[in-house]
């Protein structure tokens, strides 16, 4: 692995055995982009890769050279106002209103490892030799300010991580109105764009569409990364699929507003960028101050979408998620939300907990409704004191009862919110976001606390610390149930207002940082009305996240399938809930609900007392199964095999599998969403097994070598060689789990 610099030719070559990324100082002093793709041999000069042509109409003719048009050249971090007509990576507005800047190459620095980003989540290294970082220092001599482009390349992964740092060293203050984390110019546009789109209850559906001339984008302007789009996009060659082909992934380590876009120009080149959404963003950088963007993680794969996802899984599971729980087996939990909603008392909770303990569950989570006067969603957020009517001996009392049953105890909070009806809002009406001279929108009867103010973050931190410190609490579910609408921080000056969206997220990160440091052994699970803030930024603080409020056994397959594009299954909170399902009113078999939830952190969200004895026995067996398999499931390699979104299985079926790190065992799941009629023969080609190893397949009386399972496939048709392969596969919403172990 290396970063090779050719000073004479101005070439910076970042490379490892898998990828190369080549940058060059252009004749005008700005930075150009020459190549990104599979590793290529280094050489003194790659300047010939800078394609040019006579562009007479182009406004930028540098030094009389009509072939030098910034509008047509591939660049690293382009600017508006010096001849490029495409979208810029950043924009600076000076005091005189001018938005023209030009940052020119000054020098570079290389160091082993990777630095933290102040106040922001970031991928980290555990040893300096895992990665090397290049910082390119650029300067605008007119505003006497610097721009540092930061690139970290990992040694053993096709990963480059990028961010940008602006520093005002001049005499005049200026404003950043746009500051992307990454801009990637590519020589052609023959890609499909893949993103994860959806809505509440159907988060992260896979959305694939051909790139066309102009801009195509995804975004959030809701103050959180959102149910609607995830801060991720991939460029996939048209012939690439899950198993093979070229894919470039871009994932933003950030939880707030974002913009990710691909722009195809008239010459067929492609500009991709991702970063904080410019809408509502205006950051004044005063003399001596700086601004750092969140980072973006770029993954290159020649092994198709699965190849890309597996790199993200590995990196995010081991070098983004942190702390005590990162590598530990996650507790199997029961959450009372769908069992009781807010209608509970200590006895009801204890009856669910007792049954859970009896069946082998390890953690009980008390959800919304334990504090203030909260019997419905109209009151009490912000008043983080237990309701004595429901919990006469407080949180400590219930936590002690649960822990005496042999389970750990967890608690729900919604730290960033305050109810209109609450003592906190009465005392501090100025602590909410919104303008005091007009009505403030109260989504779900609640306001968003102004986390751009340190005193608000500190106050909520004190309340939470008091509760967490007073009782045996080992888990926190951190919820967030409304988007930000009224963007205004009362009592702060004009200048502060353009920073509020970003400062809000920095405030959330600050609180997470404080609490995870104060309670390092507490497991944090993030949540935002289900999966409304399921992103890499939050994963840095909370190693697992509630993926969706849709717990339907069939819907959940689609949600987890899409989520797996970027996120490791150890981060995907998934539970078995009651039927008929509370969101879709559908009845799916208990076994199918569990089959899907095994490919996540696993838990239950129902009153187990209401199950029949037979069902309780089934639950007991599911818990035993998960305890036996979770270690390898969470650390193994995940492969998507059949898509519920695309191709001939769309809407009808999905399949995936996990292979253990030593490739000696695997678990395959086939989800039949709709039962076909008089179905044809069916084989499923497996992945990731060792070709020379002989495997036992749980549901048949013969063994197979890995190569056969991967090349000839596993017969899924009802009959194989006169023997029925599975008695349970008939009917809608059926899942089939196939355990595969080497002899
Ligand atoms: C939304 C979450 O996604 C649910 O699981 C539950 O915690 C509710 N909020 C509680 O208000």
The per-residue DSSP string of 38-61 comes to E-----S--GGGS-----TT-S--
| 258: CB partners within 8 A, 6+ apart | 219, 220, 225, 231, 252, 274, 275, 276, 277
Ligand 1 touching residue 450 (CB < 6 A): no
CATH of the domain at 678: 2.60.40.1180
> Which atom in ligand 1 lies closest to the alpha carbon of residue 549?
3
DSSP letter, residue 79: B
- Is the residue at 711 inside a domain? yes
> Which atom in ligand 1 lies closest to the alpha carbon of residue 477?
7
- Name the token pair of 516: 């995870």
pLDDT of residue 666: 98
pLDDT-based confidence at 53, cuts 50/70/90? confident
pLDDT of residue 1: 60
> Rounded distance, CA 641 to CA 658, Å?
10
Tell which residue, 75, 77, 263, 86, has the closest CA to residue 176. 77
CATH of the domain at 434: 3.20.20.70
Q: Is the pLDDT of residue 736 over 60?
A: yes
Q: Is the pLDDT of residue 653 over 80?
A: yes
> Using one digit for the tens of pLDDT, what is the confidence trace for 81-125?
888 999 999 999 999 999 999 999 999 999 999 999 999 999 999
pLDDT of residue 726: 62
Q: Are residues 180 and 245 in the same domain?
A: yes
Q: What's the rounded mean pLDDT across residues 472-485?
A: 98
> Rounded distance, CA 251 to CA 241, Å?
19
Q: Virtual CA dihedral for 247, 550, 737, 526, nearest 10 degrees?
A: 70
The residue annotated as part of the active site, out of 84, 140, 479, 535, is 479
- Distance in Å, CA 183 to ligand 1 centroid: 36
- Distance in Å, CA 530 to ligand 1 centroid: 7
Residue 663: left (phi > 0), alpha (psi -120 to 50), or beta? left
pLDDT of residue 717: 83
- Distance in Å, CA 479 to ligand 1 centroid: 7
71-75, long-range: CB < 8 A, 24+ apart: 71/265, 72/265, 72/267, 72/269, 73/26, 73/32, 74/32, 74/33, 74/34, 74/50, 74/185, 74/186, 74/187, 74/269, 75/26, 75/30, 75/31, 75/32, 75/33, 75/183, 75/185
pLDDT of residue 598: 98
pLDDT of residue 57: 75
- Distance in Å, CA 368 to ligand 1 centroid: 7
Ligand 1 touching residue 145 (CB < 6 A): no
Q: Is the pLDDT of residue 165 over 70?
A: yes
- Distance in Å, CA 644 to ligand 1 centroid: 26
Structural contact between residues 554 and 586, judged by C-beta atoms closer than 8 angstroms: yes
Q: Count of domains in the chain?
A: 3
> Which atom in ligand 1 lies closest to the alpha carbon of residue 530?
3
pLDDT-based confidence at 679, cuts 50/70/90? confident
Q: Is the pLDDT of residue 313 over 90?
A: yes
Q: Are residues 664 and 714 in the same domain?
A: yes
The residue annotated as part of the active site, out of 195, 549, 552, 607, is 549
- Name the token pair of 518: 């104060």
| Nearest alpha carbon, ligand 1 atom 11 | 368
> Which atom in ligand 1 lies closest to the alpha carbon of residue 337?
6
Q: Are residues 569 and 646 in the same domain?
A: no
Q: Is the pLDDT of residue 45 over 90?
A: yes
pLDDT of residue 551: 96
Residue 201: left (phi > 0), alpha (psi -120 to 50), or beta? left
Mutation test of ligand 1: which of 381, 446, 475, 529 has the most ligand atoms closer than 8 Å to its C-beta? Answer: 529
- Name the token pair of 233: 């996009």
> Which atom in ligand 1 lies closest to the alpha carbon of residue 548?
3
pLDDT of residue 26: 95
pLDDT of residue 54: 77
Tell which residue, 454, 453, 447, 452, has the closest CA to residue 429. 447
Q: Is the pLDDT of residue 252 over 70?
A: yes
pLDDT of residue 618: 98
Final residue belonging to a domain, choices 608, 635, 662:
635
> Rounded distance, CA 580 to CA 63, Å?
72
> Which atom in ligand 1 lies closest to the alpha carbon of residue 377?
11
Tell which residue, 544, 540, 570, has the closest CA to residue 476. 544
pLDDT-based confidence at 63, cuts 50/70/90? confident
pLDDT of residue 436: 87
Q: Is the pLDDT of residue 722 over 90?
A: no
Beta bridge partners of 193: 209, 235
Q: 633: part of which helix (H) or strand (E)?
A: helix 613-635
* First vs last C-alpha separation in the chain: 38
DSSP letter, residue 528: B
Ligand 1 touching residue 546 (CB < 6 A): yes
Q: Are residues 522 and 493 in the same domain?
A: yes
Structural contact between residues 737 and 595, judged by C-beta atoms closer than 8 angstroms: yes
Q: What's the rounded mean pLDDT across residues 154-171?
A: 97
- Is the residue at 209 inside a domain? yes
Q: Is 549 a catalytic residue?
A: yes
Structural contact between residues 131 and 152, judged by C-beta atoms closer than 8 angstroms: yes
Q: Using DSSP, state whether 488 is helix, strand or coil.
A: coil
Final residue belonging to a domain, choices 288, 319, 350:
319
> Using one digit for the tens of pLDDT, what is the confidence trace for 276-293?
999 999 999 999 999 999
Ligand 1 touching residue 551 (CB < 6 A): no
Ligand 1 touching residue 529 (CB < 6 A): yes
Q: Are residues 572 and 431 in the same domain?
A: yes
> Rounded distance, CA 599 to CA 657, Å?
9
Ligand 1 touching residue 601 (CB < 6 A): no
- Is the residue at 313 inside a domain? yes
Q: Is 479 a catalytic residue?
A: yes
pLDDT-based confidence at 363, cuts 50/70/90? very high
Final residue belonging to a domain, choices 257, 284, 319:
319
Q: Are residues 629 and 698 in the same domain?
A: no
Mutation test of ligand 1: which of 334, 340, 446, 546 has the most ligand atoms closer than 8 Å to its C-beta? Answer: 546
- Is the residue at 417 inside a domain? yes
> Using one digit for the tens of pLDDT, what is the confidence trace for 385-421?
999 999 999 999 999 999 999 999 999 999 999 999 9
Q: What's the rounded mean pLDDT across residues 534-562?
A: 97
Mean of per-residue pLDDT scores for the chain: 96
- Distance in Å, CA 329 to ligand 1 centroid: 24
Half-sphere exposure of 673 (CA within 13 A, CB side): 19
Q: Is the pLDDT of residue 41 over 80?
A: yes
- Burial pattern 107-129, b for ≥16 Cβ within 10 A else e, equals ebeeeeebeebeebbbbbbeeee
Helices (H), 183-303: none
Ligand 1 touching residue 479 (CB < 6 A): yes
Beta bridge partners of 667: 658, 739
Q: Are residues 627 and 645 in the same domain?
A: no
Q: Are residues 487 and 359 in the same domain?
A: yes
Q: Are residues 278 and 338 in the same domain?
A: no
pLDDT of residue 69: 86
Mutation test of ligand 1: which of 334, 544, 545, 549 has the most ligand atoms closer than 8 Å to its C-beta? Answer: 549
Q: What's the rounded mean pLDDT across residues 427-445?
A: 95
pLDDT of residue 72: 86
pLDDT of residue 581: 97
Q: What's the rounded mean pLDDT across residues 183-202?
A: 98
- Distance in Å, CA 312 to ligand 1 centroid: 27
pLDDT of residue 364: 98
Q: Are strands 694-697 and 665-672 parallel, antiparallel or unpaired?
A: unpaired
- Is the residue at 326 inside a domain? no
CATH of the domain at 25: 2.70.98.60
Instruction: Give the Å distances, CA to CA, from 71 to 62, 181, 392, 480, 560.
Output: 12, 21, 69, 42, 41
Q: Are residues 606 and 676 in the same domain?
A: no
Name the maximum alpha-carbon separation found in the chain.
Answer: 85
> Rounded distance, CA 596 to CA 737, Å?
10
Structural contact between residues 170 and 145, judged by C-beta atoms closer than 8 angstroms: yes
The rounded radius of gyration (Å) of the Cα atoms in the chain is 27
pLDDT of residue 718: 72
Which residues form the domain of 182? 2-319
| Nearest alpha carbon, ligand 1 atom 1 | 529
Ligand 1 touching residue 409 (CB < 6 A): no
Ligand 1 touching residue 583 (CB < 6 A): no
Query: Phi and psi dihedrals of 211, rounded to 5?
Result: -70, 135
- Is the residue at 81 inside a domain? yes
Q: Is the pLDDT of residue 729 over 70?
A: no
Q: Are residues 398 and 472 in the same domain?
A: yes
> Rounded distance, CA 715 to CA 345, Å?
51
Query: What pTM was computed for the model?
Result: 0.98
- Distance in Å, CA 584 to ligand 1 centroid: 17
In DSSP notation, 369-418 reads -SBTT-SSTTB-TT--SB-TTT-TTHHHHHHHHHHHTT-EEEEEE-TTEE
pLDDT-based confidence at 683, cuts 50/70/90? very high
- Distance in Å, CA 457 to ligand 1 centroid: 22
Ligand 1 touching residue 337 (CB < 6 A): yes
User: CB neighbours (10 Å) of residue 43?
Assistant: 12
Tell which residue, 431, 479, 508, has the closest CA to residue 119. 508
Q: Are residues 616 and 718 in the same domain?
A: no
Q: Is the pLDDT of residue 550 over 90?
A: yes
pLDDT of residue 727: 55
- Is the residue at 506 inside a domain? yes
> Using one digit for the tens of pLDDT, what is the confidence trace for 479-518?
999 999 999 999 999 999 999 999 999 999 999 999 999 9
User: CB neighbours (10 Å) of residue 693?
Assistant: 18
- Name the token pair of 645: 């979104």
Residue with structure tokens 């993030």?
526
- Is the residue at 325 inside a domain? no
Ligand 1 touching residue 550 (CB < 6 A): no
**Portion of the chain with pLDDT greater than 90, in percent:** 92
Mutation test of ligand 1: which of 381, 476, 527, 581 has the most ligand atoms closer than 8 Å to its C-beta? Answer: 527
> Rounded distance, CA 229 to CA 218, Å?
6
> Which atom in ligand 1 lies closest to the alpha carbon of residue 368?
10
**Portion of the chain with pLDDT greater than 70, in percent:** 98
pLDDT of residue 255: 98
């Amino acid at each position: 692995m290396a970063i090779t610099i050719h000073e004479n030719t101005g070439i910076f070559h970042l490379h490892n055995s898998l990828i190369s990324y080549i940058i060059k100082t252009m004749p005008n002093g700005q930075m150009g982009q020459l190549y990104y793709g599979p590793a290529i041999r280094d050489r003194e000069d790659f300047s010939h890769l800078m394609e040019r042509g006579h562009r007479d109409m182009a406004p930028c003719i540098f030094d009389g050279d009509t072939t030098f048009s910034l509008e047509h050249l591939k660049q690293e971090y382009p600017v508006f106002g010096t001849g490029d007509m495409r979208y810029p990576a950043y924009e600076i507005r000076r005091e005189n209103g001018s938005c023209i800047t030009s940052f020119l190459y000054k020098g570079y620095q290389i160091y082993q490892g990777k630095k933290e980003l102040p106040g922001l989540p970031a991928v980290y290294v555990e040893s300096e030799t895992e990665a090397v970082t290049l910082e390119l220092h650029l300067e605008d001599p007119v505003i006497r300010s610097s721009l540092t482009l930061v690139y970290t390349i990992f040694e053993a992964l096709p990963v480059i991580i990028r961010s940008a740092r602006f520093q005002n060293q001049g005499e005049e203050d200026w404003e950043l109105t746009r500051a992307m984390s990454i801009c990637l110019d590519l020589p052609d546009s023959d890609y499909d764009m893949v993103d994860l789109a959806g809505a509440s209850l159907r988060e992260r559906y896979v959305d694939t569409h051909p790139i066309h001339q102009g801009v195509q984008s995804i975004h959030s302007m809701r103050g959180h990364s959102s149910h609607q789009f995830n801060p991720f996009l991939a460029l996939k060659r048209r012939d690439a699929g899950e198993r093979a082909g070229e894919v470039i992934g871009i994932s933003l380590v950030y939880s707030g507003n974002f913009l990710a876009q691909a722009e195809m120009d008239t010459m067929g080149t492609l500009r991709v960028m991702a970063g904080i959404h410019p809408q509502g963003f205006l950051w004044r950088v005063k003399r001596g101050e700086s601004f750092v963007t969140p980072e973006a993680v770029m993954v290159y794969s020649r092994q198709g979408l699965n190849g890309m996802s597996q790199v993200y899984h590995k990196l995010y599971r081991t070098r983004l998620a942190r702390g005590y729980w990162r590598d530990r087996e996650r507790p199997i939990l029961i959450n009372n939300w769908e069992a009781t909603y807010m209608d509970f008392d200590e006895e009801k909770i204890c009856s669910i907990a007792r049954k859970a303990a009896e069946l082998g569950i390890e953690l009980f989570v008390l959800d919304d409704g334990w504090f203030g006067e909260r019997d419905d969603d109209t009151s009490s957020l912000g008043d983080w004191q237990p309701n004595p009517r429901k919990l006469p001996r407080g949180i400590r009392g219930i936590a002690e009862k649960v822990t005496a049953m042999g389970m750990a105890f967890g608690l729900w909070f919604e730290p960033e919110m305050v109810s209109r009806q609450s003592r906190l809002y009465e005392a501090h009406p100025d602590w909410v976001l919104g303008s005091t001279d007009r009505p403030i929108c109260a989504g779900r009867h609640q306001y968003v606390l102004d986390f751009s103010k340190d005193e608000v973050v500190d106050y909520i931190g004190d309340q939470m610390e008091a509760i967490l410190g007073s009782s045996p609490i080992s888990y926190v579910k951190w919820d967030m149930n409304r988007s930000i609408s009224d963007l205004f921080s009362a009592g702060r000056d004009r200048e502060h207002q353009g920073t509020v969206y970003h400062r809000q997220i920095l405030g959330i990160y600050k609180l997470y940082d404080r609490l995870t440091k104060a309670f390092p052994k507490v497991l944090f699970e993030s949540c935002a009305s289900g999966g409304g803030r399921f992103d890499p930024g939050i994963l840095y603080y909370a190693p697992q996240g509630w993926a969706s409020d849709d717990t339907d056994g069939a819907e959940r397959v689609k949600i987890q399938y899409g989520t797996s594009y970027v996120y490791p299954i150890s981060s995907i909170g998934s539970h078995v809930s009651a039927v008929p399902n509370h969101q879709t009113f559908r009845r799916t078999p208990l076994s199918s609900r569990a089959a899907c939830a095994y490919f996540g952190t696993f838990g239950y969200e129902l009153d187990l007392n209401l199950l029949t004895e037979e069902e309780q026995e089934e639950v007991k067996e599911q818990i035993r199964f998960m305890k036996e398999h979770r270690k390898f499931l969470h650390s193994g390699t995940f492969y998507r095999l059949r898509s519920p979104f695309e191709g001939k299985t769309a809407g009808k079926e999905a399949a995936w599998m996990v292979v253990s790190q030593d490739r000696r065992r695997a678990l395959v799941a086939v989800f039949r969403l709709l039962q076909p009629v008089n179905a044809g023969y069916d084989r499923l080609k497996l992945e990731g097994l060792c070709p020379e190893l002989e495997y036992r397949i749980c549901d048949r009386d013969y063994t197979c070598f890995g190569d056969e399972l991967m090349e000839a496939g596993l017969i899924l048709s009802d009959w194989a060689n006169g023997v029925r392969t599975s008695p349970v596969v008939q009917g809608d919403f059926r899942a089939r789990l196939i355990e595969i172990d080497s002899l």
